[in-house]
Amino acid sequence: MKDVPYKIYLEENEMPKAWYNLRADMKNKPAPLLNPGTLRPMTADELAPVFCDELIAQELDETTPMIEIPQEIRDFYKMYRPSPLVRAYCLEEKLRTPAKIYYKFEGNNTSGSHKLNSAIAQAYYAKKQGLKGVTTETGAGQWGTALSMACSYFGLDCKVYMVKVSYEQKPFRREVMRVYGASVVPSPSTETAVGRKILEAHPGTTGSLGCAISEAVEVATTHPGYRYVLGSVLNQVLLHQSVIGLETKAALDKYGVKPDMIIGCAGGGSNLGGLIAPFMGEKLRGEADYQIVAVEPASCPSFTRGKFAYDFCDTGMICPLAKMYTLGANFIPAPNHAGGLRFHGMSTTLSQLYHDGLMEARAVPQVKVFEAAEEFARVEGILPAPESSHAIRVAIDEALKCKETGEEKTIVFGLTGTGYFDLTAYQKFHDGLMDDYIPTDEELAKSIEALPKVDL
Amino acid sequence: MKDVPYKIYLEENEMPKAWYNLRADMKNKPAPLLNPGTLRPMTADELAPVFCDELIAQELDETTPMIEIPQEIRDFYKMYRPSPLVRAYCLEEKLRTPAKIYYKFEGNNTSGSHKLNSAIAQAYYAKKQGLKGVTTETGAGQWGTALSMACSYFGLDCKVYMVKVSYEQKPFRREVMRVYGASVVPSPSTETAVGRKILEAHPGTTGSLGCAISEAVEVATTHPGYRYVLGSVLNQVLLHQSVIGLETKAALDKYGVKPDMIIGCAGGGSNLGGLIAPFMGEKLRGEADYQIVAVEPASCPSFTRGKFAYDFCDTGMICPLAKMYTLGANFIPAPNHAGGLRFHGMSTTLSQLYHDGLMEARAVPQVKVFEAAEEFARVEGILPAPESSHAIRVAIDEALKCKETGEEKTIVFGLTGTGYFDLTAYQKFHDGLMDDYIPTDEELAKSIEALPKVDL
């Protein structure tokens, strides 16, 4: 089927003009976020000091299926989108599989990942509301980079709290953010009350995502003209990321290709939620069926070993509660180089879909993930991010199964980003210093037992 | 003129099927390489122990205008090409210039630069000749990465001598090469006679490109089944890189755009020679006229302050002599972060064209280059390599001139690569620690005086 080119690019006028809001087609809606004080659903008013108004509206909108992408955002998308949908001819040949493999590559922009799709939307609405700037946290640095780029474009001030250990170990990520004019602060810092409190209690701490979130939220809510933004988990982020899936579907439709299986890595769920959105929509509406697979690290197995329950989104337990598959807010994943897949919970939307049996999940160990990453890099040319490589692992495994059974399955996976800033992990892999960390049942039971008791 | 999209992508079937050999249209051919022993033009037989046969044929071919791109190479090109020709709408708006700015972006592949275009061709011909492997040197690491990727694709052994100081300072580049299975050796090494000799004479040396070349050539010529390959300067490399210019011209033609000015950075000349090839061809044949500008660093100003004369290509003075604009083989450019622009000489083809007044050259200081890089990154989203940013500097300067004069010039420049592995340089720039190193007249006179006396 060489009629399909190596890379399918949509024309500019074929690019999506609206995002798809998957929740509109869900019969069982994701459970609402709860106010941690009252344990009642968060209202728009309660969210207003933290988030931009328009983003709150998107967060709470469960009924509008298509939400128009403002022209300014579409113009920015044109700088780095459409991203290519690649037919992995070389990988297929290497594996000698009858499967047809496609991947949607989101790494061809300076943030190195899909994060830019939501960053530019969030920055746009902040600008439109007349705000001065936004605050956020970043771990591995992809989200912080994406947000810096977006804020630079709209002339917004951007303050990034970067987990101290990453700030020190990933000076290059920090430097990219500086190119885009962001102010990057190692967290915990002495700039915030919560940071000072943590530093006093734990003088030598190298920080955590939970702490960085708390600092970013504190600054946003105590400085007029600022709001807090977040790069994953939230419904609004999945909404913006639907551009990935919409482009993927449009590209496949152009060539009359119908996938059998759609695979994506899952940390907070934003890339997966975006990639599968229009396909899941068809499934929900009974128009088509697809096998949809979330891939998570065995070291942080929210879907496969977590509990579907209300939990805090942050380790500081100050943010709203979300009903999701969770390992418990005080679960600390063992060192794991897929920085984007270390969240203890999962998007509420994806959690509900998984709970309803509409998608499946697999957990894969890290060394196997890097083996797949290297195999992929050598034949397809792209050095994948460790996060993305989780999806590659399962795509290869499935293609090899097809080789045994002779099935000509069409497999689509999300290649969310590049690994240019993850070479320390590759080095560990090559030097045989990479371990597979898998939490014990006892460990998980302990953090899951500590879940808040919530009864709606 | 919003009819032109932000990015012009050619369809697969619009991609070039043959390289364009600029020399075929040159009235004054570039002077031949000379055997350093006999001072007579190098013959194919003399070159055979060093280079692949087919590549030698291409190196010496001054008459065939179009040379077919083998299908295997075209298939590989499809993995990362066509590269986008981008209309810099956002930069134009930021500068408020009436100029129309386009750039051909070659950075969307894991080598991060245009180097892959020639690497895959050279690896292909080595494989076709039944060789076991190839050797090369690398400084900044882009060429070594590209070659590793190409060799991995064709199952060739790849041995890269990496200048020791880069090997130590750029562990991530080294690591990418390892992903692609290359063996990377810090140079000087104890593996070669020349390496041992240099280490004995200079025990603490951190190496040089000239020394790494010597080691790579020694290994290629003393190991059966191996040849040496080079990533710039040579005619064969310019030939392969013509794919850049051919795609650029095809993309512009699709929208009826005729550039007034074509700008590229120049180190050894491969990217510039490739970008301008079809345009210069038209100029040579009297079919069209274009202003063509080479941009070089003020710290290594071969065109603007060098001499057009025969010189050695390597500091070890064992390679053939080339007639080119040169600062002298023993000119050592001051520390300069554009690692790809530190060569003392220049492609013989470009040198002849410059000598004949068919193109011009400008030297730009480093701090101004990084200012342009950052300005570009903030509006166009792409973090440019320091090398590429030389072209950005002049493109912006020209666009600002248009703003003054009101001219609606169409400017095309080559964006050869990304700066993800150059963040130490960006950091220096941000911290105000970047200097402009400009060689004094005395310094240049001294190295130019030492040029070999050659009279053909």
Angle at B412 between CA A79 and CA B377, to 5 degrees: 40
Q: Residue A1: pLDDT above 60? A: no
Query: Is residue A455 very low, low, confident or very high in pLDDT (cuts 50, 70, 90)?
Result: low
A85: enclosing H helix or E strand: strand A85-87
SS (H, E, C) chain B: CCCCCCEECCCHHHCCCEEECHHHHCCCCCCCCECCCCCCECCHHHHCCCCCHHHHHHHHCCCCCEEECCHHHHHHHHHHCCCCEEECHHHHHHHCCCCEEEEEECCCCCCCECCHHHHHHHHHHHHHCCCCEEEEEECCCHHHHHHHHHHHHHCCEEEEEEEHHHHHHCHHHHHHHHHCCCEEEEECCCCCHHHHHHHHHCCCCCCCHHHHHHHHHHHHHHCCCEEECCCCCCHHHHHHHHHHHHHHHHHHHHCCCCCCEEEEECCCCHHHHHHHHHHHHHHHCCCCCCEEEEEEECCCCHHHHCEEEEEECCCCCCCCEEEEEECCCCCCCCCCCCHHHCCCCCCHHHHHHHHCCCCEEEEECHHHHHHHHHHHHHHHCCCECHHHHHHHHHHHHHHHHHHHHCCCCEEEEEECEECCCCHHHHHHHHCCCCCCCCCCHHHHHHHHHCCCCCCC
Distances (CA, A) of B427 to A5, A453, B299: 40, 48, 20
Flag if B175 and A90 touch (Cβ within 8 Å).
Answer: no
Query: What pLDDT, on a 0 to 100 scale, did the predictor assign at position B51?
Result: 96
Chain A residue with minimal CA distance to B88? A79
* 8 Å CB contact between B351 and B325: yes
pLDDT (mean) for A206-218: 87
For residue A75, the model assigns a pLDDT of: 95
Query: Each residue of B55-80: pLDDT tens digit?
Result: 999 999 999 999 999 999 999 999 99
Cβ contacts of A88 within 8 Å, gap of 6 or more: A101, A102, A103, A380
DSSP code string of A299-328:
TS-HHHH-EEEEEESSTTS-SPEEEEEES-
First to last CA, chain A: 53
Interface test with A, best of B75, B83, B110 (most A CBs within 10 A): B110
Across the interface, whether the CB atoms of B381 and A11 are under 8 A apart is answered no
- Tokens in use for A193? 């009350």
Q: How far is CA B270 from CA A439, B235, B239, in A?
A: 52, 8, 9
In this structure, chain A runs to a length of 456
Span B99-111, pLDDT tens digits: 999 999 999 999 9
* Closest to A107 (Cα-Cα) out of A265, A277, A301, A251: A265
Residue percentage of chain B with pLDDT more than 90: 85
Res. B315: pLDDT tops 80: no
The answer to whether the Cα torsion of B244, B246, B251, B252 is positive or negative is: positive
The span from the CA of A338 to the CA of B307, in Å, is: 52
List beta partners, residue A19: A67
Hunting for tokens 């993800």 — which residue is that?
B420
- CA A135, CA A266: separation in Å to the nearest integer? 24
CB contact under 8 A, B171 and A379: no
Q: How many C-beta atoms surround the C-beta of residue B254 within 10 A?
A: 14
- Distance CA(A323)–CA(B267), nearest Å, equals 58
- The predicted complex's ipTM stands at 0.93
From the list B78, B152, B421, the residue facing A378 with the nearest CB is B152
Three-state SS for A153?
Answer: helix
pLDDT tens column, B272-293 = 999 999 999 999 999 999 999 9
Across the interface, whether the CB atoms of A110 and B175 are under 8 A apart is answered no
Pairing state between β B133-138 and B100-105: unpaired
**Per-residue confidence band for B1, with pLDDT thresholds at 50, 70 and 90:** very low
Q: What is the mean pLDDT of residues A228-255?
A: 97
Share of chain B above pLDDT 70, in %: 98
User: pLDDT for B413-445, tens place per residue?
Assistant: 999 999 999 998 999 999 999 888 899 999 999
Q: Is the confidence at residue A339, as pLDDT, over 80?
A: no
Map tokens 């402009």 to a residue. Answer: B436
Going from the N-terminus, what domains does chain A have, and what CATH number goes with each? 77-111+235-449 (3.40.50.1100)
CA distance B112 to chain A (A): 10
DSSP string, A342-385: --SS--HHHHHHHHTTSSEEEEE-HHHHHHHHHHHHHHH---B-
pLDDT of residue A140: 81
For residue B439, what are its two tokens?
Answer: 């060689």
Residue of B nearest to A384 (CA): B110
Q: Is A291 helix (H, G, I), strand (E, B) or coil?
A: strand
A83, A103, A172, A422: best to mutate for the B interface, most B CBs within 10 A: A172
* Cβ atoms < 10 Å from Cβ of B222: 11
A→B contacts (Cβ < 8 Å), by residue, are 5-7, 9, 11-12, 75, 78-80, 86, 90, 108-110, 112, 149, 152-153, 171-172, 175-176, 178-181, 374, 377-383, 418, 420-421, 423, 426-427, 430
Positive or negative, the CA dihedral B386, B391, B394, B397 is: negative
Q: Are B447 and B301 in contact (CB under 8 A)?
A: no
> Using beta carbons and an 8 Å cutoff, which residues of B are at the interface with A?
5-7, 9, 11-12, 78-80, 86, 89-90, 108-110, 112, 149, 152-153, 171-172, 175-176, 178-181, 374, 377-383, 418, 420-421, 423, 426-427, 430
- Using only the alpha carbons of chain B, give its radius of gyration: 21
Task: Name the percent of chain A lying above pLDDT 70.
Answer: 98
Please say whether the dihedral angle defined by the alpha carbons of residues B58, B61, B62 and B63, taken in this order, is positive or negative: negative
Neighbours of A402 (CB within 10 A): 22
CB contact under 8 A, B176 and A383: yes
CB–CB of A175 and B78 under 8 A?
Answer: no
CA atoms within a 13 Å half-sphere pointing along the CA-CB vector of A179: 36
Residue A426 identity (one-letter amino acid)? Y
Q: Classify residue A2 as exposed, middle or buried by CB count within 10 Å of its CB (0-12, 13-18, 19+).
A: exposed
The CA-CA-CA angle for residues B252, B254, B256, to 5°, reads 65
Predicted TM-score (pTM) of this structure: 0.95
**Residue in B79, B110, B374 nearest the CB of A90:** B79
* Cβ contact, residue pair A110, B176, below 8 Å: no
What pLDDT, on a 0 to 100 scale, did the predictor assign at position A166?
86
Two tokens, residue B99 = 């100029």
* CA-to-CA separations, B129 to A83, A417, B235, in angstroms, rounded: 37, 37, 20
Higher pLDDT, B207 or A413: A413
Residue in A7, A79, A420 nearest the CB of B420: A420
Question: Distance between CA atoms of A287 and A290, rounded to whole angstroms?
Answer: 10
CA gap A443, A2 in Å, rounded: 50
Find chain B residues with C-beta within 8 A of A108's C-beta.
108
pLDDT digits (tens, 9 = 90+) for B297-308: 999 999 999 999
Q: Is A202 helix (H, G, I), strand (E, B) or coil?
A: coil
Burial class (CB in 10 A: 0-12, 13-18, 19+), B319: buried
Cis-peptide, bond into residue A188, ω within 30° of zero: yes
For residue A296, the cross-strand partners are A363
Which secondary structure element, helix H or strand E, spans residue A133, and what is its range? Answer: strand A133-138
pLDDT of B318-341, one tens digit each? 788 999 999 998 887 776 666 678
Nearest to B398 by CA among B100, B190, B26, B46: B100
Q: What is the pLDDT of residues A373-405, one digit of tens each?
A: 999 999 999 999 999 999 999 999 999 999 999
- CA end-to-end distance (rounded Å), chain B: 53
Under an 8 A CB cutoff, do A79 and B180 touch? no
Q: What is the pLDDT of residue A317?
A: 76
CB-CB neighbours of B432 under 10 Å? 8
Predicted local confidence at residue A314, as pLDDT: 77
Q: What is the pLDDT of residue A2?
A: 47
Summarised one tens digit per residue, pLDDT across range A27-57 is 999 999 999 889 999 999 999 999 999 999 9
Residue A168 has pLDDT above 90, yes or no: no
CA distance A314 to B315: 58
Q: B6: distance to nearest CA of chain A, Å?
A: 6
Closest-CA residue in chain A for B77?
A6
> Can you say whether residue B301 is alpha, beta or left, with left for phi > 0 and alpha for psi between -120 and 50 degrees?
beta
B268-279 b/e (C-beta count within 10 Å ≥ 16 → b):
bbbbbbbbbbbb
List the one residue out of A151, A114, A155 whose CA is nearest residue A136: A151
Considering only CB atoms, which chain A residues are within 8 Å of B149? 381
The pLDDT tens digits of the residues spanning B3-26 come to 899 999 999 999 999 999 999 999
Q: What is the pLDDT of residues B364-391, one digit of tens each?
A: 999 999 999 999 999 999 999 999 999 9
Q: What local confidence, expressed as pLDDT, does residue A330 receive? A: 82
DSSP conformation letters of A182-193:
-EEEEES-SSSH
Nearest CB to B377; choose among A180, A380, A430: A180
**One-character DSSP codes across A238-281:** HHHHHHHHHHHHHHHHHTT---SEEEEE-SSSHHHHHHHHHHHH
CA distance B435 to chain A (A): 18
The pLDDT score that the predictor gives to residue A456 is 58
More confident residue, B1 or B130: B130
Question: Which of B79, B171, B383 comes nearest A381 by C-beta?
Answer: B79
Q: State the pLDDT confidence band at A329, using cuts at 50, 70 and 90.
A: confident
pLDDT for B206-254, tens place per residue?
A: 888 878 988 999 999 999 999 999 999 999 999 999 999 999 999 999 9
Query: Which residues on adjacent β-strands are paired with residue A8?
Result: A85
pLDDT, residue B175, reads: 94
| B22, B285 contact by CB (below 8 A) | no
Look up residue A227 and give its DSSP letter.
E
Residue A313 scores a pLDDT above 90: no
Q: Which of B108, B379, B423 sits opposite A108 (nearest CB)?
A: B108
